[in-house]
A and B are shown apart, each in its own frame.
Chain A
């Protein structure tokens, strides 16, 4: 059983199709692992062994009947709990959706099913994806797979930890300001945030509609490319999805960065960045340089405005997106109170956690009459300027290279005590969302305590293939060096 868990997603599927393992064995191995680890690490909100095994049996039958032949057929996958899954609780880690069972699945989840991937369960996360540590979950914290005294990052902390702990072979996360890349970095796995519009958002419970994007969290870059290829699509049900984008990602799994121009923004290496992280990331740049890339430092600009712009736009959209959770149609409703507006107030006061309420209040404030121009409109203008700064950078470079986060995973409880500090931890990831760009986090080392460090590569819009190519090359080079 141990060896099956060491497979990557693509390797596992090959072995299942070759008859070496079955999809059921893979799922059983995953649940055996969950049995050992879940108590301590708590990666999942919802697990249902029996139905997971039944789904695995059905997929196995289709594989044997050659109805399923794709590269991910038979692979157990974890799905972040803000993605709607038909008939399975989708709580967004919130009390307010403690009983919400969708009647439909997210488009990305449907694509996974079509590809023959088998859902293990619904992964833990920060409540409504608001947080950087997975500590704001109503259903309890997830712990870092390397050191349980630390956080796994967030908001897709459950997904990243489950991949790292082998409680699944791959996972879906969502990224609004770094929620795929940062936990991937903290947990030592690969996380890819696609270009805005690459993956349909239909069925993803919105946090900030203009920034949210679903993406893969996997053991290596190849798995990320395959998983992204499976879920990416133009979807008529999502007006913001892109009709004609190149979605052949696996074609970019080529170990060659010769002549690739990579820019390192000086702005990302200033105060606040931990020395060990800086060293690891700059060493990674050297690896790519040795492999033939042209690496150069430059000034990106606008970096210091990204956080205020992000927390204005994201909270504004969130304040509106979360209005539908009112106790009327679904989800939690308070007991025993008189009058409609009292019911609204009490339901929402009891149903939402502190961080969510903080962001709803921030967002409502910046949209209020009299403040709209001063805050929200100014943030939109800042967003446009950030995009312009990236456009200029991409006229010179194919990719931008930097850290994912200023530090490695903090200890549990450290971050929530100082939300502002937590927000500042998003500094290297959020401008990517504001500009709608793709970004990937790849493991590039460990700090003195053995906690993983992530390297971030950022591409121009719809340039995922360059991103994947460089990340794949880097991964191959470092694995070769380790051997």
Chain B
């Protein structure tokens, strides 16, 4: 490569909002359900039906706008985007073009190269489409409108990112803000967060942007990284060969690791946007805006500062725990119940992260409740169970949120403190391991460790190791 190139990236991020009902009707947004079971005349585009805005959608959109330092449009409007496709029951999508709800925001991101701001061009509200199912066996296509009318916001960034790392940092920042707001769970794999990447390259130092392409079908951070690298290379190769980049929409195939052109600018559709006459302009009152502002949660930066003041736990732990609101809530609620931040943090940083990694799950997937974690900690504190038993109980709790007290009781996992039973076990171990006994008596202090281990094993972990140690020393004279 003879020249230096710079990659310029802007993102269009769709986020499915966590409202209970759809954006323009009262149907449930619950995922799953038999096809077309969450539908009504409105979300199936029946003649004569009319949309009515779900206020919660507006509040979430404004909350995300405030969290990303946007200006809130006080008189916003919905527009119709007209195009024919069977998953779109009205053949127009209700969206926002002319007066989107939020504009001119920015978020701060951090990568290895330091901190920078990424501008937010706008955030608009819109409805999701239904889902087409192609039955090749029966040679027909079916449509499920359960998803039709599920509320989305589209967050359009400025072309401020220069690398895949910045893109990932931006997405993680957005995801964290939105999760903290409770506005969405933002899961890329499940489609509740979707990112389209607009990318162009230009010679380093030039002002003018190159011709961009838009990449779709990116379902994971890994796919996004990979697609950005691949597309950057593809565009540079074209330029190096003296060819031109064509403005087009491309689809990423993650299995094959390349993208292919879907449609070019020439056959771009004319969506004939115009204000939706069925919906009144959305007026955001001072009272509404102040109310949403007052209800904004504590975001990560503030939370980190407070944790440093309130809890005596390492900064590293604070960083990890505050990465997701779910983990932070779990930490705070458990600590409030048991009053032992360090122990709570240990469970989260140790076993929890280990199991999440092992099971390939996200912190949002954690199922155990603060009440149960606090109970487990108190079981260990009171020496009712041993450390090894606690780990087993925790694993069970991690899987299905069992009540540790009841579970310990049912399974008979309580530590045995009955001297008679313990003495019998210790004597049996001593009798079965004469060599270790001899070693210990001959001055090998380490041998006692083996004997403790053997006793614990014989007791299925349910003995108090301190007590076992003391008893062994006593019997060995």
Contact = CB atoms under 8 A, between A and B. Distances in A.
A360 to B, nearest CB: 11
B274 A372 contact: yes
A237 B40 CA distance: 12
Given A106-B48, A329-B89, A320 B278 contact: no
Interface stretch (A131-139, A200-208, A226-234, A419-427): A200-208
Contacts of B84: 323, 326, 341, 344
Nearest to A211: B277
Contact of A201 (B45, B50, B53, B82): B50
Contacts of B272: 319-320, 364, 367-369, 372
Given A97-B47, A103-B41, A320-B274, A239 B80 contact: no
A208 B90 contact: no
A203 B91 contact: no
A204 B48 contact: yes
Interface string A95-127: 001001011101000000000000000000000
B274 A316 contact: yes
**A interface SS class:** loop
Nearest to A238: B50
Given A316-B274, A317-B277, A323 B52 contact: no
B277 A208 contact: yes
B277 A326 contact: no
B47 A324 contact: yes
B270 interface: yes
A25 to B, nearest CB: 33
Contacts, number: 97
A90 interface: yes
B46 interface: yes
A434 interface: no
A90 B50 contact: no
A316 B90 CA distance: 15
B52 A328 contact: no
A84 interface: yes
B270 A368 contact: yes
Contacts of B41: 102-104
A100 B44 CA distance: 14
Interface string B67-110: 00000000000001010101001111000000000000000000
Interface in B175-205: none
Interface in B221-264: none
A209 interface: yes
B47 A320 contact: no
A323 B48 contact: no
B435 interface: no
Contact of A102 (B47, B50, B80): B47
A210 interface: yes
Contact of A329 (B44, B48, B82): B44
A130 to B, nearest CB: 15
A313 B92 CA distance: 17
Given A324-B91, A328-B143, A102 B52 contact: no
A478 interface: no
Interface in B22-48: 41, 44-48
B382 to A, nearest CB: 57
B51 interface: yes
12 contacts: A102-B48, A202-B50, A203-B49, A205-B47, A206-B47, A237-B52, A239-B278, A323-B82, A324-B91, A326-B91, A341-B84, A376-B274
Interface of A: 83-84, 90, 92, 97, 100, 102-104, 106, 201-206, 208-210, 236-240, 316-317, 319-320, 323-326, 328-330, 340-341, 344, 364, 367-369, 372, 376
Given A102-B46, A202-B50, A239-B52, 7 more contacts: A106-B48, A239-B50, A239-B53, A240-B50, A320-B80, A330-B46, A340-B86
